[in-house]
Amino acid sequence: MFIILGYLVVAASVIISFTAVGGHLGALYQPFEFLLIGGAAAGAYVGGSNGASIRLLFQAFPKAIKPSPYGKPLYMELLALMYTLLNKSRRDGLMSIESDIEDPGASAIFGQFPQVQKDAKLMEFLTDYLRIMISGNMNSFEIETLMDQEIEALHNEHNTPINAVRAVADGLPAFGIVAAVLGVVKALAAVDQPPAVLAHLISEAMVGTFLGILLSYGFVSPFASAVERQSVAAIKVLECIKVTLLASMNGYPPPLAVEFGRKVLFSSVRPSFSELEEHVRQTKNAAKA
């Protein structure tokens, strides 16, 4: 949502400023320069990417526009869910939550937390490591290493389209210069024309440089930054699960283990201690009811 607002501000600022000093918008309408710059940039992206990177980029488009799902309500549910699972396993043994993990859709515990269930990757990460904990064949150090490797792999995967888009943003001013040079070549070929005609041709050529720089810094770079923020948020939620589960494996009681997970969150989405405590209490009361 904010990226669309930013795009509108950029476009409005450029258009209003240009027309305010007496410029004519028709002079900026150069469809073939748009085609040259946009086509060359798209071709460079495809040439430097693979099928997986292109697929991840298309998946990133709606994520950049929509608000991040990783807000305080989701973290409240996630921490309350982990508290419930860890509390049950501590009271009745790890095997008591095996049926919940194997079929979360039919689990009464998971059913209390619909926002968590909607995130397939979050659910996969949580249930996989709870399953490993139940197996009892790995200690906390081994599980931590495995978690770090998976999180790093996901981080690199998320960064693949981001880095490619940033490379395109860096190249757009150069493609704008290419369009401008071609326009100047066209103008020089008409050197026998009146000065007014030459001035018009040169002004058209300069639009290429303008478009390349505007598209790079006003549109493509902000898009890459928006996708990167979503990627960081998706990784942070996995780190929250990691810290909480490892704290439990190291012997900390569920309330303290959940506190470990709460502390690693960004301050903008981190629930306060009292907020989380109240939410956990309400969840427990709802389960009893």
pLDDT tens readout for residues 129-153: 999 888 877 888 999 999 999 999 9
Nearest CA-CA partner of 266 in 223, 241, 237, 244: 237
Q: Give the C-alpha separation, 135 to 114, whole Å.
A: 27
pTM greater than 0.75 = yes
Domain boundaries, the chain: 29-289
CA gap 141, 139 in Å, rounded: 6
Q: What is the 3-state secondary structure (H, E, C) of 134-151?
A: HHCCCCHHHHHHHHHHHH
Residue 261 is predicted with a pLDDT of 92
Q: How far is CA 249 from CA 41, 77, 139, 140, in A?
A: 50, 21, 8, 6
What SS3 state is found at 69? coil
Cα–Cα distance, 259 to 83 (Å, whole number): 10
Indicate whether 101 pLDDT > 70: yes
In the chain the first and final C-alpha atoms are separated, in Å, by 39
Higher pLDDT, 162 or 60: 162
Helix or strand run (H / E) with residue 133 = helix 120-135
Q: What is the mean pLDDT of residues 40-50?
A: 84
pLDDT at 288 over 80: no
